[in-house]
Amino acid sequence: MTALKATAQAHPNIALIKYWGNRDQELRLPSNPSLSMNLAGLTTTTTVEFDPALNADALTIGGHEVHGPGLERVSHLLDHVRRTAGTRLCARVDSHNNFPSGVGIASSASAFAALALAGSAAAGLNLSEAQLSRLARLGSGSACRSVPGGFVEWDMGRDDASSFARSIAPAEHWDLRDLIALVDIAHKSVGSTQGHALADTSPLQAARVQSVPDRLARARSAVLRRDFAALTEVVELDSLIMHAVMMTSTPALMYWQPATLDVLYAILDWRREGLSACATVDAGPNVHALCPAGQAGEVERKLRAMPDVREVLVARPGGPAQLIDAR
Ligand code: DP6
């Protein structure tokens, strides 16, 4: 081990084609492939320092000490790093988000992508992008998509070695905006990990999984051709199918709030009036309004005028996870 300390940054991502359900919950081998866009402007910055003086891993998020399941999840990923690097040293992990976490904007994606990069670099490992993506996946499935840059596809793969994400187009390929309408910033009651475990209890999950490859091909083609109308159709369908699975799981997972529906209806209205915008919702109540950059000012103004929209975060396509310091 040469380096002992490293800092990395990563962006969260918005899934255009959703990951929901695992074939292997422990390894986070997903039930279906997925496609996403990294979100520049929203950033997690994580420093990992292996320290011979520590006898347990320590974690702070936003300056607050974290114990229990949050720390265990971080230690679990660091255990993989330690095994690969052949060390037993414990680490101090400091992580900061410049956006609210636990509100359905996938803070776990940027968190585990940044942790995989900072942790492996601090342990002196020089992993390839595919290896980093696999490592991040062990912490949070969607995190594997925050390792490569821009528009990213996660091949579900057959096993741990073949399940990782790769970029299909760089961030500069298409100047889209994701306007995240925050309608509720309370921490969500059922996290994604518990949610994935319920997916197969829905009678609709098999039909969803079976129909993903077709939607994925349409979404990939829409991105590569920069065809926003085609993207709108498939993105909204895919989000609604995932929420249909969530709502018909046992127990039912209802992430939407009344305000979520208000925003979804409003976006439909604006589209009928000629605005190019579409909606997608992750495992939370907030609505991601996607649009070409030229429409973003108008969509943002309209979202902010809605009584239940508390804040609007604006993100553009983002680059890959990056190492910003290692020594
Ligand atoms: C609805 O990656 O957050 O955002 O692997 O348990 O951390 P864990 O789940 P996570 O699930 C993301 C679910 C989603 C859809 C998506 O991002 O593809």
Query: Tens of pLDDT along 137-147?
Result: 999 999 999 99
Output the pLDDT for position 97. 94
Per-residue pLDDT tens over the stretch 245-297: 999 999 999 999 999 999 999 999 999 999 999 999 999 999 999 999 999 99
- On the question of a cis peptide bond just before residue 251, with omega within 30 degrees of 0, the verdict is yes
Output the pLDDT for position 99. 85
Q: Specify the residue with its C-alpha closest to ligand 1, atom 3.
A: 192
CA distance 242 to 192: 12
Span from the CA of 142 to the centroid of ligand 1 (angstroms): 5
**Three-state SS at 267:** helix
* Rounded (5°) CA angle 209-256-180: 90
Q: Specify the residue with its C-alpha closest to ligand 1, atom 9.
A: 192
Instruction: State pTM to two decimals.
Output: 0.96
Span from the CA of 55 to the centroid of ligand 1 (angstroms): 32
**Pocket of ligand 1 from Cβ distances under 6 Å:** 15, 18-20, 28, 34, 106, 108, 140-142, 192-193, 196, 282-283
Output the pLDDT for position 190. 84
DSSP 269: H
Span from the CA of 44 to the centroid of ligand 1 (angstroms): 16
Q: Cβ distance 317 to 5 under 8 Å? A: no
Q: With a cut of 50, list the residues of the chain below it in pLDDT.
A: none
Span from the CA of 197 to the centroid of ligand 1 (angstroms): 11
CA R_g for the chain: 19
CB neighbours of 19 closer than 8 A, spacing ≥ 6? 30, 32, 34, 141, 142, 154
Span from the CA of 15 to the centroid of ligand 1 (angstroms): 9
Question: Nearest CA to 243 among 285, 271, 278?
Answer: 285
